[in-house]
Amino acid sequence: MSLTLQTLLIFAVAFFAYMHCYFGSTMWNRPIVVSTLVGAVLGDLTTGCMVGAMLELAFLGAVPIGDSNPPDMVSGAVIGTAYVVLQNTDIETAVALAIPVAALVAIFDNFLMMFVLPEAAHMCDRLADKADADKIDLVVRVASIGNKVALALIVALGFYFGIPVIERILASIPEFVIHAMDVVAGILPAIGVAILARNMMSKELAPWLMFGFLTTAYLNVPTFGIALYGIGVAMLFFFRKEEVLEGVDDNEF
Amino acid sequence: MSSNVKKITKKELNQVFLRSCTLDSGWNYERQQHINYCFTMIPVLKKLYSDDDEKMKRALHRHLEFMACTPHIVTLLAGITAAMEEENANNPSFDEQSISAVKTSLMGPMAGFGDSVFWGSLLTIAVGIGTSFASQGSILGPILFFLTINVPGFLSRYYGLKIGYDSGTAFFANMEKSGMINKLSKAATILGLLVVGSMAASQISITIPWVIEINGIVTPIQEYIDWIMPSFLPACAFVLIYWLLGKKIKTTTLLLWTFIVCIILSYFQIL
């Protein structure tokens, strides 16, 4: 497959991924989906899936709540996965590549959201003065899709020019750093998991975290099993008649 | 009431449903999701105010105000505001300010609830399920991930609009009064915490490469640790990072330090 064709396919995947928030915030911009797609278009779906799982865990804490704008997972996942699939390297390499790429593209994305999209907003304000709803329609569509095209272009360009450069950099990295990447890949999920736990935690419900942990640690019940079991417990709570009046439950720690 | 009562039909509501899907795609630092919220409401506004430029102008400005809500449940708000706009179009004494007021007062609690359910619990559950299959190289991983988020996502988006429009403003107050929201939040949190706990045990992996030699028998220290408690080191890492997060350390800083510490530990062959 020629590099040009590959670049076009990479552009298509990146654009599709960024457009998730135009089609219902479906979260198909998450590495688990993006990496699989990159693997599929580059001819190795299985590796794509595996890289996706690893990156997904590395990026677990990256969620767009309120003002916090996380690293740009799409670019990280695309470049990281493409490199692993095309160069046949360890899947851990993807993490080492994805994190800096994601941080870099996030800066560009922030630039769009700080300076370019507000311009579109001001255009809408002016059109609202003229009660021109149809033009606002057009501006919103162009702005919403346009910023995703720009992002996908950056990713495609990075893929086209970047891989040989990235390859040279990686070849010069000493062995202990490569091993460190394996270690990092094992520990990084802890950050995401801890962020999620912190978002949900209250003293009252903390034991459930322990139950989940201990059941998997000692009995090796896979997470899917825990989720099914959890649905049962959640239903029990939801349908339970409140017998005792509860105190304030915002006792976070 | 006069015979030319303006009424929103199923057609407009369907358009609102489709357009609401774009909510996050024009996000900006100034007023966040506002241009897409206005975009979502436009079919309703055009139906109601096509003959009154002055009202149309005010309505457009109204919906270009600051908006921050969870995209998957924003239709509830869109439904409520659509009902209010309809009332405003037919009732000359209706206070237009109340539309903005309702919007502003509802988006906060809705986002709080929706973010924790969709970007918190549900994403966690989907990642947990998805990665457990995908790390084996199975395509079921991304598929299950996708379904776990989007079946609830689109159901709530669809019924949110219906419920919002049908019961108008009374809706959220009722939910809050009857404690349903609290219960739902709590049930989702329990499920989320169980899954997070399980993920901490299955996804974090740290092993120590040291060995001890007793009477010529070489035993890796890791084996002793596993006898005491399986996943002991992952638990330590989890607790440490959880604690650091509580110290208001930024995620990016934490990420960077993890890299640095791992490289140092790897250089001295500790990990």
Phi, psi of B213 (to 5 degrees): -115, 115
Inform me whether the C-beta atom of residue B15 falls under 8 Å from chain A C-beta atoms: no
Q: Tell me which residue has tokens 């975290």.
A: A209
pLDDT score, position B169:
54
Decide: A101 and A158 in contact? Cβ < 8 Å. yes
Alpha-carbon span B262 to B257, nearest angstrom = 8
Cβ under 8 Å to A: B residues 83-142: 111, 115-116, 118-121, 123-139, 141-142
Residue B108 has pLDDT above 80, yes or no: no
| Nearest chain B Cα distance for residue A225, angstroms | 9
Chain A residues close to B129, C-beta within 8 Å: 223-224, 227
What is the residue type of A26? T
| Nearest chain B Cα distance for residue A80, angstroms | 16
Mean pLDDT of all residues in B254-264: 83
Q: CB B251 to CB A202 under 8 A?
A: no
Mean pLDDT of all residues in B59-71: 90
- Chain B contact probe: residue of A137, A183, A240, A249 with most B CBs at under 10 A: A183
| Nearest chain B Cα distance for residue A193, angstroms | 6
**Helices within B50-179 (DSSP H only):** 53-63, 74-90, 97-115, 123-134, 140-167, 170-177
pLDDT in tens, B184-195: 778 878 888 888
Chain A residues close to B231, C-beta within 8 Å: 213, 216-217
Q: CB A237 to CB B64 under 8 A?
A: no
What is the residue type of B160? G
Residue closest to A213 by CA, chosen among B233, B196, B197, B241: B197
Give the CA radius of gyration of chain A: 22
pLDDT score, position A27:
93
Helix (H) or strand (E) holding B139, with range, is none
Q: How many CB atoms lie within 10 A of CB A141?
A: 17
Q: What is the ipTM of this complex?
A: 0.73
Q: Of residues A32 and B32, which shows the higher confidence score?
A: A32
**Mean pLDDT in each 10-residue stretch from start to end of chain A (253 residues)?**
90 97 94 96 94 88 57 91 90 83 81 87 94 96 96 92 70 74 77 77 89 92 84 86 53 47
Tell me the pLDDT band of B112, cut-offs 50, 70 and 90: confident
Decide: B152 and B71 in contact? Cβ < 8 Å. no
Residue B46 has pLDDT above 60, yes or no: yes
pLDDT in tens, B12-27: 999 999 999 999 999 9
Tell me the pLDDT band of B183, cut-offs 50, 70 and 90: confident
Residue B49 has pLDDT above 70, yes or no: yes
pLDDT score, position A99:
78
pLDDT score, position A243:
54
DSSP A103-164: HHHHHHHHHIIIIIHHHHHHHHHHHHHTT-HHHHHHHHHHHHHHHHHHHHHHHHHHHHHHHH
pLDDT in tens, B224-255: 888 888 889 999 999 998 999 888 877 667 77
Tell me the pLDDT band of B2, cut-offs 50, 70 and 90: very low
Beta bridge partners of A171: none
- Chain B contact probe: residue of A28, A119, A181, A209 with most B CBs at under 10 A: A209
From the list B26, B132, B149, the residue facing A222 with the nearest CB is B132
Residue B30 has pLDDT above 60, yes or no: yes
pLDDT score, position B75:
95
Chain A residue at shortest CA distance from B54:
A131
Mean pLDDT of all residues in B138-165: 94
Q: Exposed, middle or buried, A175 (CB in 10 Å: 0-12/13-18/19+)?
A: exposed
Inform me whether the C-beta atom of residue B150 falls under 8 Å from chain A C-beta atoms: yes
Q: Where are the domains of chain B?
A: 10-197, 205-267
Q: How many CB atoms lie within 10 A of CB B235?
A: 21
